[in-house]
A = this chain, B = another copy of it.
Amino acid sequence: MNMNENARIEAFSDGVFAIAITLLILELKVPPHESIHSVADLWKGLVLLWPSYFAFLLSFGIILVSWVNHHYLFNVLDKSSRPFLYANGFLLLTITFMPFPTALLAEYIGTDYVKPAIAFYCFGGVVNSLGWNLLLYTVFKPKLLLHSSISTDHIDKVWNSTKIGFIVYMTATAIAFWLPIVALTINLLLWIVWITLSITEKAE
């Protein structure tokens, strides 16, 4: 068990993040030739794909932010444990799953049946938050995995924001049953806030 240990977990995780983020594009389908009868038709077909562009961008942003956070977490660890390994596996499961709710959102966001799609999408966020909480739990137990130079305060702060994320996603899921667009906006704001905060954040 040494630094190399964590290096390989990172490499495997990076692979999963990189593939999940790249597979999102497969949901974007070219307007089928049969339905296009003029240049204007093709332009219109490309514009009508907006739900797919939107879902692609949103999920890309979420996976990217997750990767950045994962990356900073591993920066402060120098040990590993089996529970940590499986908690990381569960987190990767929730990332791997992302292309499905993304495709669901893209298919139904412009229709009358948008509620289940958005509720399902937000629920994906709930499970992802759960994964983060589980992972942070295993950083402390059964043994402390932090680099000795890092204070546990630092991680407590990260963990608190993860708990807030969990509550926000739970709320968004509940709201989606009545006001789906509001729920989706919460989702969107959440990662804009996250990126803005982290860019303006002082040190690194």
Chain A residues in the interface with B (C-beta under 8 A): 1, 5, 8-12, 14-26, 28, 30, 33, 36, 38-39, 41-43, 46, 56-57, 60, 64, 67-68, 71, 74-75, 80-83, 85-86, 89, 92-93, 96-100, 103-104, 107-108, 111-113, 115-117, 120, 195, 198-199, 201, 204
Chain B residues closer than 8 Å to A28, beta-carbon distance: 100
Give the CA-CA distance A97 to B83 in the complex, in Å: 28
Known: A42-B116, A204-B1. A104 touches B18 (CB 8 A): no
Give the CA-CA distance A70 to B163 in the complex, in Å: 33
In the complex, the answer to whether B85 meets A68 with C-beta atoms within 8 Å is yes
Known: A14-B15, A33-B107. A115 touches B25 (CB 8 A): no
Chain B residues closer than 8 Å to A71, beta-carbon distance: 8-9, 12, 85
Chain B residues closer than 8 Å to A5, beta-carbon distance: 75
Whole-angstrom distance between the Cβ of A69 and the nearest chain B Cβ: 11
Chain B residues closer than 8 Å to A9, beta-carbon distance: 71
Whole-angstrom distance between the Cβ of A157 and the nearest chain B Cβ: 16
In the complex, the answer to whether B8 meets A14 with C-beta atoms within 8 Å is yes
In the complex, the answer to whether B96 meets A39 with C-beta atoms within 8 Å is no
Give the CA-CA distance A81 to B5 in the complex, in Å: 22
Given A14-B15, A25-B99: 11 more A-B contacts, CB < 8 Å = A12-B14, A15-B15, A18-B19, A21-B92, A22-B23, A23-B23, A36-B113, A43-B116, A56-B97, A57-B93, A64-B92
**Residue contacts A-B, CB under 8 angstroms, 7 given:** A23-B23, A25-B97, A38-B113, A39-B113, A39-B116, A82-B201, A83-B199
In the complex, the answer to whether A21 meets B16 with C-beta atoms within 8 Å is yes
